[in-house]
Every structure is written in structure tokens, then in C-alpha cells.
């Protein structure tokens, strides 16, 4: 039982699928529904568990898996091999959300995806990173599509007893609890630990019995509530998160803010330096700043978290004066474009920039956008010299590849291909035959169709559909036809309804007599985003009006498991954001490892990835604002490309049934782009371009109680 629990509580199982068979043997039905080892372990009947543990084959498999897991955590990796004497012992990685597995639903979308994938890649590479986030009682909402095709938001409770988390305890066994003073009453925070391969993720929650009800709800929902709740969440994440590390004796050289939500951690880090050295805040901030890194994901200035000055004073006035020795005017100046403007709101991104030694965007194009956004903070510099670089995002390929794709990659490139040690991935992949690549693609599409049939069946039954109608809908999903995929947050700037610009033309393309094509959609709109919800309903009503003639399917409750299945199975991934509002985008990166092809706007990562040999581009590479005329032009361009290029190439087959031109494009996309947009490459860049230099600079500023920082201030 201890061995089973050890495996279940290490989220390495979410990307290393060696233990899947173990959980499947215990309860195949529950495993298929949840992909959650801890739930399987807690739910399986005791007599069934006893029989499994008494079976020698099961025990041998369990022993092998435990030993392999322990060995993977202990053996040196890329970082230890390349930087054995590195000054870097710990990076504290703060984020509002982490997408690690559907078994830990504390994520919404892209930001959490980046955080989770980078934490996993850091584990693979041996880069010493510890994550800091929040454990939400409800997380992000779950989605139901009702009889009218409208989104309904549900908020099931995240029971810590069923999550892959363990309480953090002090050496004497007592629960570790932290106190943060808020107006009227302190808030007590509980701490939880998540094992992510080599790494640990620490999560704070306020649902402590000692708290007043309003404080217990601080960590209730991700991205829910009003600005006051958001400010309290960010105080808990920033101040509470840094205090947790201090309580655990963890002393990071580098603090990495994945977005500005946790920027208060920089204040608390400076406070710790003040306490240890006796320096004032201005010196402490100068001394700690070189060890701080801020990654911005926002492509429009209005997207940053901003708070009214009175609200900041209400919640941080005492902290500023008593802990930092600052007046409110001085504290608010750190988060203002114009420090002297008493009426300007407090911007968390501005605080993050002023408290960080380096700032980076998440794609090359986003770097240009971010330099423009932040230029007012650097009035003496030309815009192209604003100190904002970029590290383009990547995705954790072992998390997102299908079983069929993993088998193909392993045959071609070996099991260690994503561990930072293989330089021949592209060349090895180019040696794979057309027939082998096409067999993988066909198997992955078939798996998606089977999964979608089950999901559609449950979805329709939940709103009272007749069995015959369910069966007809399921039968329309065809594993032998081209499958287009579109799944993401439904927000106006992502233009999820660009394909619906001309519904009749879309139907004619999908229902072509000799080139049949199907479209699978998924996505959520924030409960407060009425426009986004209307976009979902436009699709569901279009599907309903077609009387069964539209091979279009909307899968409800877009979560990580559904995302995995979609990116593994679709032939074409469509992405239609309004340039340049997609800072990076990662959904299209996930299809690369599975042989999917991108048809995407020249925005975010695709603006630097696109070449005619690997996919198709939409747009002219220019910005057109919110222009309905241009939307119509791009919609027609998308129809033309699908009708005249994409779909015909897919159906141009040899006598053996292999589309050679399509497979050539697949091969080039996989070989050229998969290594380049892997989280392995991203984390290596962060390590070499930011973490190691930041650690050296931070240690230099610590010398002689911050003498270097004092000299900078005095100079």
C-alpha cells in the first residue's frame, strides 16, 4: 500500500505512463473516467485490492515502477551534468495556476499550461525549481451545455483528501500554518505539497477553521469574484508564498514570477533582506532585484491586474508602514506609470518590472508588443531599447503525445529524446517512412473519435436526448475522414466563430462528396464574459439547426484530459486570434508531436514558426485592430485554404492509401518544430539566459550586507 500511495502521489505518472496499466488493473472503468490514481486507490474495493497485492505479476510490476520512479528522481540530469558547480540551488516559480493533471483541477488555461509544463520539464532536466501557487476549493468552473446550447457554470468542491496533495507539517508533526494580517482579522493559511517528479509544488489555501467565513473563501475560485477578492488572493500568493518558503528553510537565489499576480513576493523578499541586514527598503529592493525575473503573458495594457489606490491602502497600508518602512505614497509609486499621479491605479505588472532584474515576453512578436506597452516606464529609451526580452513558450511533449506517437518517437529517437541530451531528433525523425507516419496518424485519429463518441453520448444524455438521437450523432463521427480541431477559451479576440462567417460555405466544405471532413470544437467562456458565452451558443445552435447534416461536434467541459485527446487525434489545428493579441499560444504546439498540422494566424509562436513546408498561415502579418471587414477577408482566406489546399492534399492518396504530400508536411513539422517548441528548450533557455546569471548577480549583491546595492543607491 505504501508503494501504491507513493506512485499515486507523484504526478510523474501524468507524463510517464508506465504506471497506467497498474491503475487500469485495479479499476479499468474508474481509471478510464478519471485518470486519477489517488481516486482509484481510495475507491477500489478492499478485497479487490488485496487480490491484486497478492498477485505476483502485479507485485513485480509495482516493485519495478517504484524503483524506476525513485531512480528517475535520484540520478543526475542535464543540469547536473552541464553545471555541476552552478551558483543556482533553487528557483522559486510563482504562478496563479498550475496545469499538471486533470487530477489536480487548479488551472484555467494557457498560463497554467505554461507553468505546469515548465515545472515538468524542469524535473526532466534536473533544474532546481520549486513551484508556489494556491489550492482552490473550487478551482475554475466546470462547464455544462444545456438544452438550448448555452453554457452553464458548475463549481464542484476540490476535496484535498482526494487530490494528489499532502499537508505540509513541521518537524514535530504539527500542521504548518501561516498568518497574514488583513484588516479586522488575520487570515490563517494551510500549506500543501505536490510531488512533481524531482520537483515540489507548494500550494496555500485559506479554508482554515480558524478563519472568519470571508477569509475562508479567499482561495475559493480561480479568477472569480471582484477586485477585492483578487487583491486578497494575490497578497496570499505573494506574501504568503514567500513566507512559506522561509518557514520551510528554502532560500531561492531566483524568484520567477509567471505573470504579475505574485509580485507582492518581491516586497516580502526585500523585507526579509531588511530584517537580516538592517538596510532600508530601497537598499533591500536594489539588493534582491537582480535575483527576480518577471515573465509577462499579456498582449494588451488593459489585461494587467490593476487595483484602486484606496483598496491597496486598505489591505497593505499597515504592511507598507510597519514591515517596509514605506508611506502609502511610496508603495503606490512602485505600481504606477507616473509615481507622482495620486489618482493612478496600482498596476501589478509595473510593480513586477520595478522589482525585477529582468523581464521577458513569451514569443518574439510578444516581445515587440511588450516593449511598446512598457515604453512609458522608460521614457528616456527608444522603444526598441526597452529592457524586455523574450523566451518563446514550449510545451512538455511527453504530456501531450498519444500512445501511438510516443511509440513512433521512441522507435525513431529513443526514450531520452526530451531530456536535453539528444541532438539528432530532427534527423532521426526524417528517417521514418511514410507508411509508419500515416499509421500513427490514423491510429491517433481513431482513438480521438472513440473518445469523442463516448463524450458526446454522456453529454447528450445529461440533457435528456433520446437514445436514437445520441446514436445518430455518435455514428456521424468518422475515424476515416479528415478531422479539424478548434479548442481554446472562447473570447472575442480569439475569433472562435471566424469559421461561421459563412455557414453555408462551411457546410459545403465539410460535406464535400469525395473529401468529407469533420470539425470537433471545445472551449469555455469566463462566467462573466457574456460575449464569449454567446459565441459558444452560436456554434451549438448552428449544430442544432443543421438537422444532423453538419459534421460538427462541440465537446463540453474543456479540461486537460479533453485537451490531450484533441491534440493527439486531430489532423489540423485551427487558430484564429486577432493579431497581435495572442501573446504566445500553446495549443497548436501540442499537435506537433502527434503529427497534426497547424492552420493559424501569424500571431504568437506561429509568427516565428511558420514556413510553407510545415503548415498554413492566415493573415498578412499586420495588425488590423477590431475590423469586421478584415475579419471577413480572413474568413474567406481560411475557407479558400481549406477548400483548395489543405483538404485536397489530405485526400490525394497513393495506391496504398497514403497521402504522400501530406505526410511529407507532417514529417517536416514534427522534425523541425517539435524540438524547437518543446518546454525542454524553453527551460534550458530560462536556465542559461536568466536563472544562472540572476543567481550570480544576486549573490554578488548579497556580499557585505548589500554593500554593492548601497553603493548603487548612493551613487
CB 566 within 8 A of CB 375: no
* Residue of 588, 636, 623, 639 whose CA lies nearest to 609: 588
Question: Which parts of 549-603 are beta strand (E)?
Answer: 552-555, 572-575, 597-601
The single-letter DSSP state of residue 252 is -
The rounded distance, in Å, linking the Cα atoms of 349 and 353 is 6
Residue 502, phi then psi, degrees to nearest 5: -130, 90
CB 614 within 8 A of CB 673: yes
> CB atoms < 10 A from the CB of 280, how many?
15
Residue 423, phi then psi, degrees to nearest 5: -105, 5
* Helix 434-462 / helix 467-476 crossing angle, nearest 10 deg: 160
Mean pLDDT of residues grouped by 10 in the chain (715 residues)? 93 92 92 90 91 93 94 92 95 98 94 98 97 96 94 94 95 94 94 97 97 96 94 98 97 98 98 94 96 96 94 97 97 96 96 98 98 96 97 97 95 89 87 97 97 95 93 95 96 95 96 96 95 96 84 96 97 96 96 98 97 97 90 97 98 96 98 96 98 96 81 73
Instruction: Count each helix (H run) and each strand (E run) in the chain, helices first.
Output: 32, 20
> CB atoms < 10 A from the CB of 334, how many?
22
- HSE-up of residue 675 (Cα within 13 Å, Cβ side): 20
Q: For 91-106, give the secondary structure using H, E and C.
A: EEEECCCCCCCCCCCC
* Helix 560-569 / helix 434-462 crossing angle, nearest 10 deg: 140
**pLDDT value at residue 415:** 87
Three cell numbers written together for 418: 526530451
**pLDDT value at residue 423:** 81
Indicate the pTM of the whole model: 0.96
* Residue of 499, 480, 671 whose CA lies nearest to 571: 480
The rounded distance, in Å, linking the Cα atoms of 353 and 280 is 20
**pLDDT value at residue 113:** 97
**pLDDT value at residue 349:** 98
**pLDDT value at residue 707:** 80
Q: 383-388 — which CB contacts under 8 Å span 24+ positions?
A: 387/358, 387/359, 388/296, 388/359, 388/360, 388/361
CB 92 within 8 A of CB 291: no
Helix (H) or strand (E) holding 568, with range, is: helix 560-569
* Residue of 623, 607, 620, 619 whose CA lies nearest to 677: 607
**pLDDT value at residue 715:** 62
Amino acid at each position: 500500500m505504501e508503494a501504491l500511495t507513493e506512485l499515486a502521489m507523484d504526478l510523474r505518472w501524468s507524463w510517464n505512463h508506465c504506471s497506467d496499466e497498474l491503475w487500469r488493473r485495479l479499476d479499468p472503468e474508474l481509471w478510464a473516467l478519471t485518470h486519477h490514481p489517488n481516486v482509484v486507490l481510495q475507491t477500489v474495493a478492499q478485497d479487490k485490492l488485496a487480490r491484486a497485492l497478492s498477485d505476483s505479476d502485479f507485485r513485480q510490476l509495482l516493485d519495478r515502477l517504484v524503483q524506476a520512479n525513485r531512480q528517475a528522481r535520484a540520478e543526475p540530469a542535464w543540469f547536473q551534468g552541464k553545471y555541476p558547480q552552478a551558483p543556482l540551488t533553487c528557483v522559486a516559480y510563482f504562478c496563479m495556476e498550475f496545469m499538471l493533471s486533470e487530477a489536480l483541477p487548479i488551472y484555467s488555461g494557457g498560463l497554467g499550461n505554461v507553468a505546469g509544463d515548465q515545472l515538468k520539464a524542469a524535473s526532466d532536466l534536473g533544474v532546481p525549481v520549486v513551484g508556489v501557487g494556491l489550492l482552490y476549493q473550487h478551482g475554475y468552473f466546470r462547464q455544462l451545455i444545456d438544452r438550448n446550447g448555452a453554457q452553464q457554470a458548475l463549481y464542484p468542491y476540490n476535496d484535498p483528501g482526494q487530490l494528489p496533495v499532502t499537508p505540509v507539517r513541521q518537524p514535530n508533526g504539527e500542521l504548518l500554518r501561516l498568518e497574514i494580517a488583513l484588516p479586522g482579522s488575520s487570515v490563517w493559511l494551510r500549506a500543501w505539497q505536490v510531488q512533481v517528479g524531482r520537483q515540489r509544488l507548494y500550494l496555500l489555501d485559506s479554508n482554515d477553521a480558524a478563519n472568519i467565513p470571508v477569509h475562508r473563501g479567499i482561495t475559493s475560485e480561480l479568477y472569480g469574484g471582484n477586485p477585492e477578492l483578487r487583491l486578497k488572493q494575490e497578497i496570499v500568493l505573494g506574501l504568503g508564498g514567500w513566507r512559506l518558503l522561509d518557514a520551510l528553510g528554502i532560500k531561492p537565489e531566483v524568484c520567477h514570477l509567471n505573470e504579475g499576480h505574485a509580485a507582492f513576493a518581491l516586497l516580502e523578499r526585500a523585507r526579509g533582506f531588511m530584517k537580516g541586514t538592517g538596510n532600508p527598503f530601497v537598499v533591500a529592493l536594489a539588493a534582491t532585484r537582480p535575483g527576480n525575473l518577471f515573465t509577462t503573458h499579456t498582449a494588451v495594457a488593459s489585461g494587467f491586474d490593476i487595483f484602486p489606490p484606496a483598496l491597496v491602502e486598505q489591505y497593505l497600508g499597515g504592511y507598507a508602514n510597519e514591515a517596509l518602512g514605506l508611506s502609502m505614497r511610496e508603495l503606490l509609486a512602485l505600481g504606477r506609470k507616473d509615481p507622482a499621479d495620486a489618482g493612478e491605479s496600482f498596476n501589478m505588472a509595473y510593480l513586477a518590472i520595478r522589482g525585477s532584474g529582468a523581464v521577458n515576453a513569451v514569443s518574439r512578436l510578444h516581445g515587440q508588443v511588450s516593449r511598446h506597452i512598457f515604453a512609458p516606464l522608460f521614457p528616456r529609451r527608444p522603444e526598441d531599447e526597452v529592457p524586455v526580452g523574450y523566451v518563446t513558450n514550449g510545451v512538455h511533449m511527453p504530456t501531450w503525445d498519444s500512445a501511438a506517437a510516443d511509440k513512433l518517437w521512441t522507435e525513431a529517437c529513443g526514450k531520452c529524446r526530451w531530456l536535453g541530451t539528444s541532438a539528432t531528433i530532427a534527423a532521426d525523425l526524417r528517417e521514418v517512412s511514410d507508411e509508419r507516419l500515416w499509421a500513427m496518424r490514423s491510429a491517433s485519429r481513431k482513438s480521438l473519435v472513440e473518445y469523442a463518441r463516448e463524450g458526446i453520448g454522456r453529454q447528450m444524455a445529461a440533457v435528456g436526448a433520446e437514445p436514437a438521437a445520441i446514436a445518430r450523432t455518435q455514428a456521424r463521427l468518422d475515424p476515416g475522414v479528415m478531422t479539424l480541431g478548434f479548442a481554446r477559451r472562447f473570447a472575442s479576440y480569439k475569433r472562435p466563430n471566424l469559421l461561421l462567417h459563412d455557414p453555408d460555405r462551411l457546410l459545403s466544405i465539410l460535406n464535400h462528396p469525395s473529401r468529407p471532413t469533420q470539425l470537433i470544437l471545445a472551449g469555455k467562456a469566463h462566467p462573466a464574459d457574456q460575449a464569449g458565452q454567446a459565441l459558444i451558443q452560436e456554434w451549438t445552435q448552428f449544430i442544432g439547426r443543421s438537422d444532423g447534416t453538419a459534421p460538427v461536434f462541440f465537446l463540453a467541459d474543456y479540461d486537460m484530459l479533453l485537451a490531450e485527446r484533441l491534440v493527439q487525434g486531430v489532423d489540423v489545428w485551427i487558430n484564429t486570434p486577432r493579431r497581435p493579441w495572442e501573446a504566445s499560444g500553446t495549443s497548436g504546439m501540442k499537435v506537433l508531436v502527434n503529427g497534426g498540422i497547424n492552420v493559424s494566424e501569424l500571431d504568437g509562436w506561429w509568427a516565428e514558426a511558420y514556413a510553407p513546408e510545415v503548415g498554413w498561415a492566415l493573415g498578412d502579418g499586420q495588425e488590423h485592430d477590431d475590423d469586421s471587414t478584415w475579419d471577413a477577408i480572413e474568413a474567406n482566406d481560411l475557407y479558400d485554404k481549406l477548400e483548395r489546399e489543405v483538404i485536397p492534399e489530405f485526400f490525394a492518396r497513393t495506391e496504398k492509401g497514403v497521402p504522400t504530400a501530406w505526410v511529407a508536411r507532417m514529417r517536416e513539422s514534427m522534425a523541425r518544430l517539435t524540438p524547437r517548441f518543446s518546454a525542454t528548450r524553453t527551460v534550458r533557455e530560462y536556465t542559461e539566459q536568466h536563472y544562472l546569471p540572476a543567481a550570480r548577480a544576486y549573490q554578488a549583491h548579497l556580499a557585505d550586507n548589500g554593500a554593492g546595492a548601497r553603493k548603487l543607491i548612493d551613487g
